[in-house]
Amino acid sequence: MNKVHAQWSTLNLPQPDRTTSVGVNALEAPENLIVLPSGDVTISECAGKLFQRIAASKTMFLRCNTIVELCQHDHGKLRLSPIKPSAFRSRIERFGKVVAWRSGKNGTPELKSSISSESTANALMGSTEAQRLLPRISMLVDCAVAVERAGRIEVLGEGYHADESGILVAAGTALPLIDPMTAAGWLLNLLGEFHFQSASDRSRAFACLISPGLKMGGLIQGRIPIFITEADQSQAGKSYLQQITAALYNEHPTVITQKKGGVGSLDESFAQALFSGRPFIQIDNCRGKLNSPHIESFMTARGAFSARVPNQAEVEVSPEKFVVMLSSNGAETTRDLANRSCIIRILKREGFSYHRHLEGDLLEHLKHHQSWYLNCVFSVIAEWFKWGKQRTETVGHDFREWSQVLDWIVQKIGLAPLLDGHRELQAQVSNIATSFLRRLAIEVRNLKRLGEVLSATDIRNICNTADIDIPGNHSQDNDDTNRRIGVLLGQAFSAGADECNVDSYMVYRTQQPVPREGGGSYMSKHYRIEYTG
């Protein structure tokens, strides 16, 4: 038994009929035959009998009206893959001996072994019977899922759950719920070694842990945001935090990186991640401008969302079943994407060593006890449900339902309000001037040059050394670059102000005389950056 079929067997799903020949007595066992459209056999008749067998096997499904099958994925997990008509020709052979009516001796019709043509396979796949008989699947997960049933929270374990919009739980154990405050304490332990910039950043990190559990089972109807984890320096743990979030749900995030256009672009990689059907997508170490109307559209799409990659038929997916995360040391987004984001800021701890567990690091510890920690998520959710699915009145986010529900949950367990200062963060990441100034301030701190008075030339040299992109600068001329720096920094200051606050930094602007060659001087703007902590 191959690995894929071994995993099917653990779900207690019927195995496909592996018959590839019917022997001498083929015509005496019609249940073993797949009679292709031929003679008096219509497409509808063939499709009806074929898809009844396929449906019973639970190996092919309908996903947004596209026929998909279970395949092996990275890390030994299953994924959903669209089936092309050319491939469906051979898939048919798993379910019986393929025959067709052909002219025999003396012109008498006879059933003879046959191979489906691609046009026949395409006709069968497009039939009403395929749409009617194949089980529909909305989500493939490797963890238990909490849903609402009969006015209470119920946790679904392994198997295909047709009553819940076709959730296929490939692996997952449903455990008894525990005291909600105890559960919250265990989850907060997962965050204990990260240095969050503010108390509300910690609340948003907790919300990131809880949100997939609410959305997977349809306990909130609205969209959840893209979770942006922003660090002040490399190796602060931004990507690690997102890996922990995915591991909590027994997942490895599908990692994509930012590329600029052409083959393998960000949009193309994102579409490929949607194809896989795995719920967590991580845009890792994003740098500079992130301008993707494709992803922005995905974050607000209602109903089906079309995804297309080279050499594949277009597939429609349900955007509500995915969790999108982005890690960065200073991403710059559009205002629309920022409004659809939840921003979590973490700071690097110099010389800090993460705790070693018996199983290894925190991530390995979580993987070994994943069912327990996920049960803690469900226990917190069940408490929210018991209180009547409460919401606060906060209006600080475009995704109103998500923000109000999570704000109630985090405050119920004693954390800070979810969105304190968050609108300012959204404005910051969507403003090229403040995004640039933040990256500059972090590098000035790294260079131990806080408090120094810096000219545009000093800033240009810092940017060149640290490989900081100067937005809008397309010139190799130093004077042009200095002028562009002056324009950018000028945009970061409010009208008439000579100080600017960016995250944990205060930037002060002064004018100083600079000597001219040949005598005299001119006034030039200079900048001083201080860390406020």
Distance CA 125, CA 172 (A): 32
- Give residue-wise pLDDT tens across range 255-301: 988 765 445 588 888 888 887 767 899 998 887 677 788 888 898 88
- Give residue-wise pLDDT tens across range 119-139: 999 999 999 999 999 999 877
- Give residue-wise pLDDT tens across range 58-97: 889 998 788 988 887 656 677 778 899 999 999 999 999 9
Question: Which pLDDT does position 336 carry in this prediction?
Answer: 87
pTM equals 0.79
> What size, in residues, is the chain?
533
Question: Which pLDDT does position 82 carry in this prediction?
Answer: 84
Distance CA 73, CA 78 (A): 5
Mean pLDDT of 45-65: 91
Q: How confident is the model at residue 50 (pLDDT cuts 50, 70, 90)?
A: very high
Question: Which pLDDT does position 11 carry in this prediction?
Answer: 43
- Give residue-wise pLDDT tens across range 306-320: 877 666 667 777 788
Question: Which pLDDT does position 74 carry in this prediction?
Answer: 59
Distance CA 92, CA 471 (A): 55
Sign of CA dihedral 33, 38, 39, 41: positive
Strands 167-169 and 139-141: parallel
Residue 234 has pLDDT above 70, yes or no: yes
Query: Torsion-angle region of residue 457: left (phi > 0), alpha (psi -120 to 50) or beta?
Result: alpha
Which amino acid is located at 262 in the chain? Answer: G
Residue 21 has pLDDT above 50, yes or no: no
Question: Which pLDDT does position 29 carry in this prediction?
Answer: 61
Q: Return phi, psi of residue 289, to 5°.
A: -75, 125
Residue 178 burial (CB count, 10 A): 16
**DSSP-H helix ranges across 16-116:** 43-57, 85-91
The percent of residues in the chain predicted with pLDDT above 70, rounded, is 91
Reference 135, options 68, 61, 66, 82; nearest CA is: 61
Range with lowest mean pLDDT among 263-267, 416-420, 512-516? 263-267
- Report helix, strand or coil for 474: coil
Sheet with strand 78-82: strands edge to edge: 60-63, 66-72, 78-82
Please report how the helices 199-216 and 370-386 are oriented relative to each other, as an axis angle in degrees rounded to 10: 90
Q: How confident is the model at residue 504 (pLDDT cuts 50, 70, 90)?
A: confident
Q: How confident is the model at residue 237 (pLDDT cuts 50, 70, 90)?
A: confident
Show the tokens assigned to 128: 């009403």
- Give residue-wise pLDDT tens across range 141-153: 889 999 998 889 9
Q: Return phi, psi of residue 83, to 5°.
A: -100, 130
Query: Cβ-count burial of 50 within 10 angstroms (0-12 exposed, 13-18 middle, 19+ buried)?
Result: buried
Q: Contact, 444 vs 455, CB < 8 A? A: no
Question: Which pLDDT does position 6 carry in this prediction?
Answer: 39
Question: Which pLDDT does position 187 carry in this prediction?
Answer: 97
Q: How confident is the model at residue 164 (pLDDT cuts 50, 70, 90)?
A: low
- Give residue-wise pLDDT tens across range 216-230: 989 999 899 999 999
Distance CA 102, CA 29 (A): 19
Which amino acid is located at 115 in the chain? Answer: I
Strands 305-307 and 499-502: unpaired
Winning range, highest mean pLDDT, from 207-221, 317-331, 466-480 = 207-221
| Half-sphere exposure for 429 (CA within 13 Å, toward CB) | 31
Q: How confident is the model at residue 530 (pLDDT cuts 50, 70, 90)?
A: very high
- Give residue-wise pLDDT tens across range 331-387: 778 888 889 999 999 988 877 777 889 999 999 999 999 999 999 999 999 999 999
Residue 14 has pLDDT above 70, yes or no: no
Which amino acid is located at 194 in the chain? Answer: F
Question: Which pLDDT does position 515 carry in this prediction?
Answer: 81
Q: What does 136-166 look like in DSSP terms, one character per residue?
A: B-SEEESS-EEEEETTEEEEE-SEEEGGGTS
For residues 236 and 84, which has the higher predicted lDDT (pLDDT)? Answer: 84
Alpha-carbon distance values, 298 to 4, 210, 305, 335, 430 (Å):
31, 21, 7, 15, 18
Q: How confident is the model at residue 427 (pLDDT cuts 50, 70, 90)?
A: confident
Q: Regarding the domain with residue range 180-421, which homologous superfamily does it belong to in the CATH classification? A: P-loop containing nucleotide triphosphate hydrolases (3.40.50.300)
The structural domains of the chain, with segments of one domain joined by +, span 3-136, 180-421, 432-531
Q: What does 241-276 look like in DSSP terms, one character per residue?
A: HHHHHHHHTT---EEEE---SSTT-HHHHHHHHHHH
Reference 146, options 410, 375, 323; nearest CA is: 375
Question: Which pLDDT does position 279 carry in this prediction?
Answer: 86
